[in-house]
Amino acid sequence: MVGHLAMIFLLECYAILFAGTVLGVCLGYLVVPFRWPLTLMLVLLPFGFALVHACRSMGYRRGLLLMSLAVAASLLTESVGVLTAAVFGPYHYTPVLGPRFLGLVPYTVPMVWFALVYPSYVVAEWLVPVGWVGRRRRLAVAGLGATVVTAVDMALDPVMVEAGAWVWQVHGAFFGIPLQNYVGWWLTAFAILGLYQWSCAIRLPQPPAGSAALARLALFSYGLFAFGAVGTALHMKLAGPALAAMLAIGPWVTAGLWSMRRTRQVAQVVTPAGSLTKHSA
């Protein structure tokens, strides 16, 4: 009960802060890049929500495992990427996002990775057909989850470049962003989710209706972050990246909501007493 209340509280604060921030930017009360306390809160709230939600829906051990893998793997790939340009392309971070690990990657960046990877994993798990099991399912969930994660960066990266959070040393094909960046995002997210599922060595059947409400909260957190980035992009007159991101993000949010709603309706017909047990990933 305490975990559920904490999760709802974090999501409400998260929604209020993101909505208020986008509105403040649009009305001219806030300027991008934000001051450090606001930047930290914009990272801590989605990170905290994802961690509480993961621990509640997956169990503490698996929730902490996914968080640890996301933080460690993203910090590693980002650090290697800054040093060698081999992962995402040639870029470097500025002091805008706060203190940096070894002077390379802001500590907030791996937290953002987890805040995006976790709800994307939830969406992917719901969308992959229930009949797919074992290795086939793990690969599908990892691949689809990585695609859902990468969709957000189509708006996020141009916004953060415009804000001066990081600098690309080349002019890429996607509104100045190298295509290699998106390949790197997909591969990093795929590795995180693939390693997580391999570590658990579990089968992932389609969640029954009992977990639909919980899953929708994760989907809403993904939507808040994604559409917050799109709204900021529109305000910064980055219409191209905003439209591309909207087209990339919208289908996953819509499909996730449809899948959760449809499964709940089917279960209510089959088991009106709610006898199905809650799915645990």
Q: What is the pLDDT of residues 19-77, one digit of tens each?
A: 888 788 778 777 777 777 888 888 999 999 999 999 888 888 889 999 999 999 999 99
List of the chain residues with pLDDT < 70: 1-3, 201-210, 262-281
User: CA–CA separation, 222 vs 109, rounded Å?
Assistant: 16
User: CA–CA separation, 79 vs 59, rounded Å?
Assistant: 30
**pLDDT attached to residue 77:** 97
Burial of 152 (0-12, 13-18, 19+ CB in 10 A): buried
Q: Residue type at 246?
A: M
**pLDDT attached to residue 105:** 97
Average pLDDT, the chain: 86
Q: Where are the alpha helices (DSSP H) in the chain?
A: 2-27, 36-58, 60-84, 108-127, 134-162, 179-200, 212-235, 239-270
**pLDDT attached to residue 2:** 59
Which of these, 261, 268, 226, 266, lies nearest to 247 by C-alpha position? Answer: 226
Q: Where are the domains of the chain?
A: 2-270
